[in-house]
Structure 1
Amino acid sequence: MFTIVMVLLVLGGIGTIFGFILAFANKKFSMEVNPLIHEVEDILPKGQCGACGYAGCAAYAEAVVSNKDVPPNLCVPGKDEVAKAVAEITGKVAEKVEPRIAHIKCKGSSDKAVQSYRYKGIKDCKAANLLQGGPKGCKHGCIGFGTCVNSCPFGALKLSDEGLPVVDAKKCTGCGTCETACPKNVIEMVSVDSPIEVSCNSKDKGAIARKVCSTACIGCGICAKNCSHKAIEVKNNLAVVDTKICIEKCNEATCIIKCPTGAIQFARGLSVKNSSNIKVTI
């Protein structure tokens, strides 16, 4: 009994001594945190998406307060409202943040795109991509296992019954997390004012692309030839739209009508302003 008491007293004494040491060290080496850092962090969306280029909201808050060269408008999900608030707290000037939205560059749903083989592995796009580029015949298309959906910190994506991600325009902040998660580079961030989108990512020649997907861009160039503003060109067998020209000048979307496969379509992020200016004629 005496031995047990002595052991307890010794352990208690050691614990007390170390407690005093830790308390002294904490007071001696503690660093004062700028209260503005907490103010900035409180107004950030807390998505921890990394779109600002920093490892989470706390890291960006510290950087924008502590470093005069870090601009206050790097929080893409927060848009202009957050940028202005951060600028006011830090005493900086916030440039306008262009709203962005995720665009899925693939329409190759299960009923339109062929499968090369039956995949029975882990339902993850990155894992499937390691096996001959995935089961889809088009090796540039969406694999469709929802890795992007699971990565979205704002719940702005869902997987359709046809195996393609669908963007909720009201929830999408344009943070780019899904873009980074996609192993096929099928997702890109575009301006919410972009009236036209190419919903294909294939770089294959027309005959090959059409063979594996009925809605593929075949690189025929009809869209480019019929665009009176020269906003479209074909690169690597794929139509590419100059969004700036399209937003500023397009008032008649002939490319949508002329596209033989339907690979070009109105953007889901089409603004009311632009949609009222654009008409489709045959």
Structure 2
Amino acid sequence: MISAVVILALSGLAFGAILAFAARKFFVPVDERIETIRNLLPGANCSACGHASCSSYAEAVVSKGAPVDACKVGGAAVASKIAGVMGVEAVLDEEAKVAEVMCRGGRSAAPHSYEYMGISDCKAASLPMLHGGPKMCEYGCLGFGTCVRSCPFDAMYMGDDGVPVVDRDACTACGKCVEACPKHLIRLVPRSKKIHVVCSNRDRGPVARKVCKVACIACGACVRACKVGAISLRDNVALIDYSKCTECGECVAKCPTKCIIEVPRVEDTKGGTQSAQGEVA
């Protein structure tokens, strides 16, 4: 009995020695910068940077030379700190952005052509066999909240009229909602800009007006009103060139269907609640 215990103890010591030797022999040093960068990152693991997690992004920065400014959530502040760790200069030319839903055709504005009884998911409802969804406007938001559920930061919610609303304060421009929308209605726009064309309908005016009360009808009133040439019509939809727009508001005033809106800048929303129309309550 005693000999068996001794043999077991000696075997344990031998295996322990072997494992200790192997650990030293095959030890792979870990660059301390990886842990430093990992601690600088917000830990959202949203994969907007193109990597599976914050940890994998940190490893990619150190080991593979990934851009130091890829973290959408951390923005310029985190990029500058990561650049400092890596001993490089952070080039932060791109303006900060925020998600905007380019549709305001909710239940009160855009009628349905049939009653949908399927899965409450925009991708499921937009299948070709279902004619792209129950709305008469084939370009409009289906209102099942797939984008809302995709947001890892709770920066979206469904408005009272069945169209998603972006919480501009909470949005990090990670792009998850952009990927989730099967109608491609969500875009990342300059955070500093407050005037947007929130319609994606490419039908001709009479057809667009029939399927949605707030659709762009390509009348050109906004184009004529703009004194700096910042608006044009493309595929029957008004398009704003943000690099030229002075935010004078003339296009907003002239639009007959009110599909051009003025939203408050992020700093203007403090203390208020942004509505689906971009107003502050």
Shift of the 254–36 alpha-carbon distance from structure 1 to 2, 3 Å rule, reads same
**Alignment size in residue pairs:** 261
* Mapped pair 1:123 → 2:123: no
Identity among equivalent pairs (%): 45
Aligned-partner SS, 1:228: coil
Matches within 5 A, 1:97-176: 97-130=94-127, 131-176=130-175
Note the residue ranges of structure 1 that are not aligned, 5 or more in a row.
Answer: 1-13, 273-282
Shift of the 217–26 alpha-carbon distance from structure 1 to 2, 3 Å rule, reads farther
Q: C-alpha displacement at 1:218, in angstroms?
A: 1.0
Q: Which moved more, 1:261-270 or 1:182-191?
A: 261-270
Structure 2 Cα separation of the partners of residues 18 and 150 of structure 1? 50
Match of residue 79, structure 1, among 75, 79, 83: 75
Q: C-alpha displacement at 1:74, in angstroms?
A: 1.2
Judge conservation of contact 1:195–1:271 (CA < 8 Å) in 2.
Answer: no
Scaled by the length of structure 2, the TM-score of the pair is 0.84
Q: Which moved more, 1:70-79 or 1:24-33?
A: 24-33
Structure 2 Cα separation of the partners of residues 42 and 256 of structure 1? 45
Q: C-alpha displacement at 1:93, in angstroms?
A: 0.9
Judge conservation of contact 2:150–2:180 (CA < 8 Å) in 1.
Answer: yes
**Residue by residue, what CA displacement relative to the aligned partner does 1:1-32 show, whole Å, maximum 9, x if unpaired?**
xxxxxxxxxxxxx9999998877666544422
Matches within 5 A, 1:1-282: 28-68=25-65, 70-96=66-92, 97-130=94-127, 131-246=130-245, 250=246, 252-269=248-265
**Residue by residue, what CA displacement relative to the aligned partner does 1:128-181 show, whole Å, maximum 9, x if unpaired?**
111221111111111111111111111100111211111111111111111111
Letter in 1 for 2:79: A
Judge conservation of contact 1:79–1:98 (CA < 8 Å) in 2.
Answer: no
Judge conservation of contact 1:169–1:268 (CA < 8 Å) in 2.
Answer: no
Note the residue ranges of structure 2 that are not aligned, 5 or more in a row.
Answer: 1-10, 269-281
Judge conservation of contact 1:51–1:176 (CA < 8 Å) in 2.
Answer: yes
Scaled by the length of structure 1, the TM-score of the pair is 0.84
**Which 4+ residue blocks in structure 1 deviate beyond 4 angstroms?**
14-28
Aligned-partner SS, 1:158: strand
Match of 1:278 in 2: none
Letter in 2 for 1:66: S
Letter in 2 for 1:46: G
RMSD (CA atoms): 2.6
Q: C-alpha displacement at 1:33, in angstroms?
A: 1.9
Structure 2 Cα separation of the partners of residues 15 and 235 of structure 1? 76
Q: Which moved more, 1:21-30 or 1:183-192?
A: 21-30
Judge conservation of contact 1:71–1:92 (CA < 8 Å) in 2.
Answer: no
Structure 2 Cα separation of the partners of residues 183 and 268 of structure 1? 27
Letter in 2 for 1:254: E
Letter in 2 for 1:151: S
Q: C-alpha displacement at 1:231, in angstroms?
A: 0.3
Structure 1 Cα separation of the partners of residues 227 and 62 of structure 2? 48
**Residue by residue, what CA displacement relative to the aligned partner does 1:219-269 show, whole Å, maximum 9, x if unpaired?**
1111111110000000001111001111xxx25211011111001011344
Aligned-partner SS, 1:46: coil
Shift of the 62–226 alpha-carbon distance from structure 1 to 2, 3 Å rule, reads same
Q: C-alpha displacement at 1:71, in angstroms?
A: 2.3
